[in-house]
Amino acid sequence: MEKWLKTENRPVIDIVNIVAGIALALSPWYLGFTAETYAAWNAWIAGAVIALIAVGALVAFHAYEEWANLVVGLWTLVSPWAVGFSGLAAAMWAHVIVGVIVAALAAGSLWFFGNRPLSTA
């Protein structure tokens, strides 16, 4: 476990976030919900924001980028119910899956790479 917590492994998280953001941005086309305005626009905007934040974190890491990805990931997770497209199964699951992945990776990055000492007990 300690091997994965080294800072040189942190870019893997950003690459996964880039892929997740691009997948969410493309999901209205390959899952077929482009006609659903709220779901499609939410996927396009949230996916682009996730990917752009992750690219910024990949170039120069700052903790605020992970906080921003945590917020966008949590929004993506709850947006099917907040915006009202939870009845569209494909759109809902795309948002929930990407939201969980992005929020969990951002929270993990903040926790493990936040210069906290590992437990010595």
Q: 71-82: per-residue pLDDT in tens?
A: 999 999 999 999
Exposure b/e, 77-115, CB count within 10 A at least 16 = b: bebbeeeebbebeebbebbbbbbebbbebbbebeebbee
- Condensed to tens digits (0 to 9), the pLDDT of residues 20-67 reads 999 999 999 999 998 999 999 999 999 999 999 989 878 876 677 888
Q: Determine the Cα–Cα distance for residues 104 and 72; give it in Å rounded to an integer.
A: 11
- Average pLDDT rounded to a whole number, residues 80-98: 94
Give yes or no for a contact between 36 and 84, defined as CB atoms under 8 angstroms apart. no
pLDDT for res 116: 56
Give yes or no for a contact between 42 and 24, defined as CB atoms under 8 angstroms apart. no
- Average pLDDT rounded to a whole number, residues 5-12: 63
Q: Quick one: which of 20, 24, 14, 23 has its CA closest to 95?
A: 24
pTM score, whole prediction: 0.83
